[in-house]
Structures are given as C-alpha cells and as structure tokens.
A and B are shown apart, each in its own frame.
Chain A
Amino acid sequence: MNKRIILSLSTALLSFFTYSARAEYALNLQAPVTRVAHEIYDLHTLVLLVCLAIFVVVFGFMFYSLYKHRKSVGHQAVQFHEHKVLEVVWTVIPALILIGMAYPATKTIFTMKDVSDSDMSIKVTGHQWKWEYEYMGEGVRFISNMATPQDQIDNKAEKTANYLLEVDNAMVVPTGKKVRLLMTADDVIHSWWVPQFGVKQDAIPGFIKEAWINVEKPGIYRGQCAELCGIHHGFMPIVVEAVPEDKYKQWLASKKQELAVAAAGADKEWTKEDLLANGKAVYEKNCVVCHQANGQGLPPTFPALTGGKIATGPIEGHLEIVLKGGKTVMPKWGPLLNDVEIASVITYERNALGNSVGDMLQPAQVKAAR
C-alpha cells in the first residue's frame, strides 16, 4: 500500500516538473536560447530528479518508520546500532551517483570557459548603477540605463509588463555568432546575468573576466545585475536584443550615426532653455538616484546640491568633479556622458533644484576640459 502511494506521488512530482518545463517557466529555469543554457537546464533536471529519487527512498523509509515503529501501536525497540555492510553500501552508492553527475557537469564547465574562435567582442562595464557596452573595433560605445519610470516604482503609476527589466539602449547581438564578452566594472563588483543565455559573470573592477554567448534564436532577453552593488542594485537591468546578422549590421551602422550626431551637438551653441530642458532629462536619468529629485541628497554619503558648495561655487570646480569624479562615491561621468549631456546637467543643477546661480556651460567648454 505504502509502495503504491510512493510511486504515485513521485510520478505526480515528476510530471509536475516536466509540465512546467514545457509551460510558463515560473517554477523552473527560463527557456534556454543558447547551447550552454540548454546543457545547464538538462543538468539541473538530472540533479533534481536524482535528489527527488533519493529523497523519496530515504524519507519513504523514515515516514514508514514514524508510522509503524511507534510506541503507541506497541512496537518494541530492537536494540541494534550498527550494520557494517549497509554502512558501506550507503557510502559507496552516493559516491557513484555523484561521479555520475560530475562527468557531464565537468564537460559543460570547460565549454563555458572556452572563448576561443569568437566572431566579435563586446566590452561590458558595470557602473553604479547602469551598464556600458563597447563594441570592440567598431567605435560604438553607449550606456544602458533602466527605463522604468520612478512613478511606477513609487506606486504612483501602473506597472507595465517589463517592470524593472527595461532599458533605454539595449545591447544588440547577431544570432548564430559567437560573441565574446569582456566584463569589467568601474567602481564596485557587479554581475552581468541573462538567464536565458546561461551566462552570469561577475564584473570585477580592474580586471577583465571573459564569457561568451551564441544566441540561437532572435528575441529580446532580459536579465539583472546579480551582485549587490549599492542602493540601486535592483535597478540596473540588462536587455539584449538578438537579431539576424543583416539586421545587426543595420543597427550597428545606425548606432554609429546616432553617436556621431550626438557628438556633433557639442560643436554648436546651445540656448539656456535647451540646456535646462536637456539637463533635466539627464539629471533624472543619472543623478536622481543619489542626489534625489529635489536636489536634497542623502547626506553624508550623497551631499545635497541645493545650496551646495560645488553647485553654487565656481563653475570650473563643478565641471571638474562631474568629469573626473570625487574622492568618495561620486562617479567619473566623463566617460559615461557626452559633452552635451554634461553641459546640460551642470547648467540644470546650477539653475534649478532650488539654485539660481545664473551661469551656464556650453558643450564645447566641456570638450575642452576633458
């Protein structure tokens, strides 16, 4: 009777997991779209089934004992306390099972580490709290910020489908090509993770760590930073758009053009209104997280800009700290923002947020100061 119960229970559990494997993935790993992710998925299924089987057998015995060997049903204790053969058997069998699992796992480890013969390379840099992608040899470099509006996070607006998993500039890769990823970070340790690719690589400041992906089918794939990196660790998602190679080439060309246009904006003269409008957008995307929407900051770690020494002091000092960073946690925005963005945000900080210094900065001045 008990054996039948155990059998039907385990069948139910098995079908439960395989069902979910085919259905919505809410219970299991996300649908794999690379060969490595497939191998990982299958490895997990193997280990899970092994654990399930052992669990059912061992606790089958235990629950049987709890039921049948109760004092209240009159069972008398049998005073044994060792059994050499059994003890050897239940040491050797688990060892063999483990070896069985270790073999396929070892193969996948070496596969995951093999970055040779890549078709292209992308340098991925983690910052507090955004990702930077540089397409090596293409001259394309851009920042990828989370695009979910603060209103949704603060429960003032309805949350949309890709809440916390959307960005302004996605990383785009061609399908069917081996893309080598060179991971690093600029400040603290971050971790780049896209579950459907089966890739998670810590981004260590000062070091380059390599990984690779070869995405089998086109689609939009989302992930998150996977190493605590400060207050906005939960708000620096990753979005990768995998497209057929020709579409990728088109995107690359248009991106180069987009960057050229933005850089050219540095050569013209901007009006104060335009600088302020642009600066507000830059501030909200980049500075709000620390200096807050009203400029009050979170002292002492994140100083207030309203009435702040630097924001109301000489404009050269303001530019210096934005470009080069501070001795503390203030990042170097020089590499992250272009001349127009820096000129705009400095103008904004000096003439809004409760400040009214009156002066402004042209992008050309930022370019000269770099």
Chain B
Amino acid sequence: MNQQTQHYYLPAPSYWPIIASTALLTLASGFVLFLNHFAPGPYVMVAGALILAYLVFGWFGVVIKESVGGLFSRQVDHSFRWGMGWFIYSEVMFFVAFFVALFYARNVAVPWLGDTKLLWPHFVAHWPTVGPGITEASFTPMKAWGIPAINTLILLSSGATVTWAHWGLIKNNRTQLKIGLIFTILLGVTFLGLQAHEYAEAGFSIKSGIYGTTFFMLTGFHGLHVTLGAIMLTVILFRVMAGHFSAENHFGFEAVAWYWHFVDVVWLLLFVFVYWL
C-alpha cells in the first residue's frame, strides 16, 4: 500500500444510487403488475432486472477499480469487514423469520388445529401435513436420507474447498486458489442441479398446505442464496484470473467466502429441521 492509502477514501458523486433505486422501483412495479395478471408485468420486470444487472456490474465494477487502484486504506478494509458481517447478520434474521414459521406451525398451529374438533372433526395433528382443510390425493413428503443427504456432503465439501482456496491465496499459491475456487463453484452448481431435480420430482407442491409452504419457501430462499453465492464465487474466480488479490489484501475473496459459509450453515439447519426431524 502506498502513502495515499493511509487515508479514508471518499467516493465522488455518483449516479449508481439513483440507478439502483430506479432498478428496484421498476422491478417492484413489474412484479406487482405480474402478480395481478396485467400484461405489461413480465416486461416491466425484465426491464427492471436488466437495469439491475447493469447496476450490479457497474457499481461493483467501480468499487473493484478503486480497490485495484490502491485507493482503499486498512481502515476502509475494516469498514468492508464490518459491513459484510452485518449484512450477513441481516440475512440470518430473514431466515430466522421462516424458521420461526416452521417451528410455530409444527409446535403450535398444527397441534391446536388437531384439538379443534368443533371445526375440523376429521383432522388429527401430525407432521408433515397439508392441513385440515386442504384435500390432496397423494402427498409424499421429502425424505432426508437420499439426495438431500448427498447435498449436505456437497455443501460441506464446498466449504472445505473454499477454505483450501483461501489458504492457497495466503500462501501465494495461485493454482491452489484457482482450483479450490473452481471446485467450490462446481460443487455449488451440482447442489443446485440436484435441488432442481428434487423440486421437479417432489410429490407435493408449494400449495400442499403448511408442509409444502415451509418446505419450498425455506429451501427456495436458500437455493436463491446459493445461486447468488455461486455467481459471486465466479466473479471472484474471474478476478483471480485477472491477477487481483494479494496474500495480504483480498477482502473481496473473504467476503464471498463468508457468504458461502453462511449459506452452508443455513443448509445444515434446513437439513436437520426441514428434511430430517
């Protein structure tokens, strides 16, 4: 780091925030239109998504350029660490809400409904269930010890490979770094592929009462986060191949690795509480 980087970098005025706000407004409006079956809906959503994609490449591109240009001091690096840590915490709280829904449904709502013979005379509380009022001819819940168990091994391994890649970076072994990253991404993509297969073969849908609801919402948001994580890992891989990151200075890599571990931990909780127990 040179003399300049003793000082805290303050960015110049920027268009990215207003572009980001416009992207979200467009995407949100399109989504609302789509939900309510207005014809322009999907198109507006696509427009919003395109602006968002442009924004993501643009804004992160600027930050990467600033970083590679040596503009970030140690203090800025600390800011990024704090920031990423708290961002992941907010994501944790989002998942907490859905886990709470699962625990409440299983331990409060369904048992109480089972006791409410006056309204649901034929319902006996059990789990998994589609609930007392939804009739579903066949309903096969997800089994834990097949592909989901394999997926657990896959994600755990990917946590190991990304750590191994990190060690490579610290030791200045770029080959280890690249291979570790590639394996991590491949494992992540395999996980997603297997999940997609499971979704297609599932013996129930999101409309299958509270079981279908909690299953697909929890695993669905998780899958979304794995996808984002895999995209971020790929970006990191490209940056590595472009020669970015040094042994002493590579927070971008660490941030994505943290995110990946977070995604891994959420999966473990999912595996235990959604698939297994």
Using a CB–CB distance below 8 Å, which chain A residues touch chain B? 123, 182, 184, 206-208
**Cβ < 8 Å to A, chain B residues 106-149:** 112-113, 116, 118-120, 132-133
Q: With CB as the reference atom, state the residue of chain A lying closest to B133.
A: A206
CB-based contact A207/B118 at 8 Å = no
| Contact in complex: B113, A206 (CB < 8 Å) | yes
Told that A207-B112, A207-B113, A207-B119 touch, could you supply 11 new A-B pairs with CB distance under 8 A?
A: A123-B118, A182-B118, A184-B118, A184-B119, A206-B119, A206-B120, A206-B132, A206-B133, A207-B116, A208-B118, A208-B119
Cβ contacts under 8 Å, A184 to chain B: 118-119
Contacts of A208 in B (CB 8 A): 116, 118-119
User: Please, could you name 17 A-B residue pairs with CB atoms under 8 Å apart, sorted by A?
Assistant: A123-B118, A182-B118, A184-B118, A184-B119, A206-B113, A206-B116, A206-B119, A206-B120, A206-B132, A206-B133, A207-B112, A207-B113, A207-B116, A207-B119, A208-B116, A208-B118, A208-B119
How far apart sit A182 and B132, CA to CA, in the bound complex (Å)?
A: 19
A126 to chain B, nearest CB (A): 13
Q: In the complex, A162 Cα to B75 Cα: how many Å? A: 70
Interface size class of B (residues with CB under 8 A): under 10
Q: What are the interface flags for B26-62 relative to A under an 8 Å C-beta threshold, 1 for contact and 0 otherwise? A: 0000000000000000000000000000000000000
Q: Which 3 A-B pairs have the closest CB atoms?
A: A208-B116, A208-B118, A207-B116
State the Cβ distance, A366 to closest chain B Cβ, in Å: 25
Question: Chain B nearest CB: distance from A115 CB in Å?
Answer: 14
Least CB distance, B251 to chain A, in whole angstroms: 42
Q: Whole-angstrom distance from the CB of A120 to the nearest CB of chain B?
A: 15
Contacts of A206 in B (CB 8 A): 113, 116, 119-120, 132-133
Q: How far is the CA of A352 from the CA of B116 in the complex (A)?
A: 43
Residues of A within 8 A of B118 (CB): 123, 182, 184, 208
In angstroms, Cα B117 to Cα A182, docked, is 12
- A-side contacts of B113, CB under 8 Å: 206-207
> What distance in Å separates the Cβ of B115 from its nearest Cβ neighbour in chain A?
9
Query: What's the least CB distance linking A138 to chain B, in Å?
Result: 15
Report the Cα distance A123→B116, complex, angstroms. 13
How far, in whole Å, are A189 and B113 apart by their CA atoms in the complex?
16
A182: B residues at CB distance < 8 A: 118
Kindly list chain B residues whose C-beta atoms are within 8 Å of the C-beta of A207: 112-113, 116, 119
User: Distance in Å from the Cβ of A135 to the closest Cβ of chain B?
Assistant: 14
A297 CA / B263 CA spacing, docked (Å): 51
Residues on A with beta carbons closer than 8 Å to the beta carbon of B120: 206
Distance, CA A206 to CA B118, complexed state (A): 10
Closest Cβ–Cβ distance, residue B126 to chain A (whole Å): 17
In the docked arrangement, what's the CA distance between A206 and B132, Å? 9
Residues of A within 8 A of B116 (CB): 206-208
A136 to chain B, nearest CB (A): 9
Q: Which residues of A contact B119 (CB under 8 A)?
A: 184, 206-208
Tell me the complex Cα distance, A184–B132, Å.
Answer: 16
Distance (whole angstroms) from the CB of B255 to the closest CB of chain A: 43
Q: Which of A123, A182, A208 has the most CB of B within 10 A?
A: A208
Question: Please, how many angstroms separate the alpha-carbon atoms of A206 and B110 in the complex?
Answer: 11
Chain A hits for B132, CB < 8 A: 206
A332 to chain B, nearest CB (A): 14
CA distance A268 to B109 in the complex (A): 46
Instruction: Report the nearest A residue to B116, measured CB to CB.
Output: A208
Q: Which residues from B are CB-within-8-Å of A123?
A: 118
Which of B119, B120, B132 has the most A CB atoms < 10 Å from its CB?
B119
| Nearest CB on B from A123, distance (A) | 7
How long is the Cα–Cα vector from A367 to B32 in the complex, in angstroms?
Answer: 43
Please, how many angstroms separate the alpha-carbon atoms of A184 and B118 in the complex?
10
- Nearest Cβ in chain B — how far from A94, in angstroms? 32
Closest CB-CB distance, B110 to chain A, in whole Å? Answer: 12
State the CA gap A192–B29 with chains docked (Å). Answer: 39
Task: A184 to B113: give the CA distance in the assembly, Å.
Answer: 12
